[in-house]
Amino acid sequence: MGDNKEQRILHHVQQHAVAGDPQSVLETIDAYCSQKEWAMNVGDKKGQFVDIVVREECPSVLLELGAYCGYSAVRMARLLPPGARLLTIEVNPDYAAITQQMLDFAGLQDKVTVIIGASQDIIPQLKKKYDVDTLDMVFLDHWKERYLPDTLLLEECGLLRKGTVLLADNVIFPGAPDFLAHVRGSSRFECTHFSSYLEYSEVVDGLEKAVYLGAGSPPQP
């Protein structure tokens, strides 16, 4: 069965989902986590908002902070246009290995690069080491206390352009109040909130979409 919950989720997918079918992988994870063991995937309810934003933005270069078991990487990568790529940063090497296997099973390995390391160490390397000019979209779903410092670091490193979309999960529960206060109070971001529920539960949560308007943006009305 596997030594821990994350391995059990992977093995369940490998046994019950359809190889090469990302939608089947997502549905299998959602069913397992709603019926057997809760896990911190973005989940099906909030996942629909993620789908909407990815479809709207059609990003060529997408960064994910926090891969966990690869659920959101599969969810986003399945919607990417041809030639687009997703870079996902995961600090836990065991989770990164599970994410890679999940992507391989879903047939999305060519669209996604799994990077092992801490976000604050990897972000400054993205331009030179990973050939990133600017990012079209960033999905924040790692340690909540890293949301704000990593947003500032992305801006400092010149990785945000006018129109870059930040999409942050769990901004209500467990919450990222300093991040929300910053993006909502800054003239450099235009924010939209998607109210929803914590994955596989009835606890109120939400996603925050913050569009970067550029360093010298006029104050928002």
Return the active site residues. Answer: 141, 144, 169-170, 199
Q: Could you tell me which of 111, 113, 129, 121 has the C-alpha nearest to residue 146? A: 121
| Contact yes or no for 84/107 (Cβ under 8 A) | no
Sign of the alpha-carbon dihedral angle for 20, 116, 119, 169: positive
First to last CA, the chain: 55
Q: Could you tell me which of 27, 24, 32 has the C-alpha nearest to residue 7? A: 32
The C-alpha atoms of residue 134 and residue 123 are separated, in whole angstroms, by 12
The C-alpha atoms of residue 112 and residue 109 are separated, in whole angstroms, by 5
| Contact yes or no for 114/67 (Cβ under 8 A) | yes
Indicate the angle between helix axes 147-156 and 177-185, nearest 10 degrees: 40
